[in-house]
Amino acid sequence: MKTTINQVAKYLNQEVTIGVWLANKRSSGKIAFLQLRDGTGFIQGVVVKAEVSEETFQMAKSLTQESSLYVTGTIVEDTRSPFGYEMQLKEIEVIHEATDYPITPKEHGTEFLMDHRHLWLRSKKQHAIMQIRNQIIQATYQFFQKEGFVKVDPPILTGSAAEGTTELFHTKYFDEEAYLSQSGQLHMEAAAMALGRVFSFGPTFRAEKSKTRRHLIEFWMIEPEMAFVTHEESLEIQENYVQFIMESVLEHCTLELKILERNVETLEKIKAPFPRITYDKAIDMLKEKGFSDVEWGEDFGAPHETAIAESFDQPVFITHYPKDIKAFYMKPDPDRDDVVLCADLIAPEGYGEIIGGSARIDDLSLMEQRYEEHNLSGDAYQWYLDLRKYGSVPHAGFGLGLERTVAWISGVEHVRETIPFPRLLNRLYP
Ligand code: 4AD
Ligand code: MG
């Protein structure tokens, strides 16, 4: 019977054949332990000299790392391994013999591993991170489907910039100028006026020259947009969404979290509602924590976010930022013109901002005023004004950065390990 590693529980004490790669091995005179992987998981294959032909035993001892094989043997329980099963091998058929695989079990530097990212993805930790990423994507579709949202795909080639004009990848679009999308939000607002509650999931591009553990040049964002929804209501959807993702990963990725040595107790505590503090309060907190030079009106950097997050064991919403440091489309607080109805959601344990969102300006004349202040009067932005001309409604939305969320839940330091092929300031390879 041909199967895969993630299905072996169904074949306890039965003989199966699995297509695998040899991840690692150790052997003595009488026994060889082969660490096998097939993409769905990892399992230990045991070859006992006394139970196989001499030829098979010698072959098992001489197999090279990352050679591809068909292995046949019996699935047995193994209470010592976190996976719970091992395979007692009888036959090994070599499909392709690999020589000099560059990533050996010894320690390698990050740059070396990044240069070999196409191979590094095969390793156990990277495999676990990709599984968690996949689970978050699955949970996202489930959550928004269940809440009545429609998946909409905004364009990637655009004529307009959503988040300011300095961080764009520029390209020629025949005779016109075009940019790679920084955010699907503006088009998602149009979609919300057609379909009510919508969400997108796609790649976005930022040409900012940031070299931090939280910044990618190309990253994937989930962007919900909701008609007839207030800022407060949007925060509730955000916290429920984050809790849903967390529960889904905790339920389906137990082994992956163990492989990553993630402290799951801190993750199990994550439950909506999340605390909310205003930007004003955040400034006071920072001053109390010794950031004596922070001034009202400045944006927060990673150290500020981390310091604020330390006071909470839940993600925390920082709301009502000064208008001047936020995007042109954010709706002013009706009680106070200098701040906007927005929130950033800051993850615990120093993983930083995972969501940015706001209520959107729905008043045509105020939007026209913002256009003037931000020099957006060009043709590319005219369609966006139509949304305020024809049946304008209060609406709100947000963007969750997938890689930062994967980093937080997986407990990995740097977002470069949370996407299969990271695009970084100095990296377009592989
Ligand atoms: O805060 P941002 O820039 O918000 C927007 O783009 C809005 N238009 C979203 C919306 O309201 N529809 O980005 C949203 C999130 C951030 O909170 C962060 O998680 C992630 O996207 N993000 C990045 N992730 C990795 N690398 C980068 N360079 C990122 N920039 C933002
Ligand atoms: Mg932001």
pLDDT tens per residue, range 142-176: 999 999 999 999 999 999 877 776 789 999 999 99
Atom number of ligand 1 nearest to Cα 217: 28
Ligand approaching nearest to the C-alpha of 400: 1
CA torsion, ordered 74, 88, 132, 403, to nearest 10 deg: -140
Domain 118-417 matching CATH 3.30.930.10: the answer reads yes
Question: Relative to the alpha carbon of 358, which ligand is closest?
Answer: 1
CA-CA distance, 349 to 313, in Å (whole number)? Answer: 8
Residue whose structure tokens are 């070599």: 94
Q: Which ligand is nearest to the CA of 355?
A: 1
Give, in degrees to the nearest 5, the angle at Cα 355 between 386 and 143: 85
CA-nearest of 92, 116, 85 to 103 is: 116
Token pair in block for residue 40? 């769905």
Q: What is the pLDDT of residue 307?
A: 98
Per-residue model confidence (pLDDT) at position 35: 98
pLDDT at 160: 80
Task: Quote the pLDDT of residue 165.
Answer: 65
Cα separation, 60 vs 203, whole angstroms: 44
Residue 365's pLDDT band, with cuts at 50, 70 and 90, is very high
Q: Are 315 and 277 in contact (CB under 8 A)?
A: no
**CA proximity to 354, closest of 309, 419, 394:** 309
Burial status of residue 290 (CB atoms within 10 A of its CB: 0-12, 13-18, 19 or more): exposed
**Nearest CA-CA partner of 315 in 220, 401, 206, 216:** 401
* pTM for the whole structure: 0.98
Nearest CA to ligand 1 atom 1: 356
What contacts 138, CB < 8 A, 6 or more positions away? 248
Query: What is the arithmetic mean of pLDDT over 69-97?
Result: 97
Q: Evaluate if residue 229 carries a pLDDT over 70.
A: yes
Provide the pLDDT for residue 191.
Answer: 98
Same fold, 5-96 and 118-417: no
Distance 162 CA to ligand 1 centre (A): 11
Residue 78 CB burial class (10 angstroms; 0-12, 13-18, ≥19) = middle
The pLDDT value given to residue 383? 96
- Pocket lining for ligand 1, CB < 6 angstroms: 162-163, 183, 185, 206, 215-216, 219, 221, 223, 353-357, 397-399, 401, 403-404, 415
User: In percent, how much of the chain has pLDDT > 70?
Assistant: 100
Round to whole Å and give the CA distance between 252 and 429. 32
- The class level of CATH for 5-96 reads mainly beta
Average pLDDT over every residue of 284-294: 96
Say whether pLDDT at 349 is over 70. Answer: yes
pLDDT-above-90 percentage for the chain: 95
Q: Where are the domains of the chain?
A: 5-96, 118-417
66 dihedral zone (left: phi>0; alpha: psi -120 to 50; beta): left
Question: Model confidence over 169-224: pLDDT tens digits?
Answer: 999 999 999 999 999 999 999 999 999 999 999 999 999 999 999 999 999 999 99
Best substitution site from 341, 404, 425 to test ligand 1's pocket, by max atoms within 8 Å of Cβ? 404
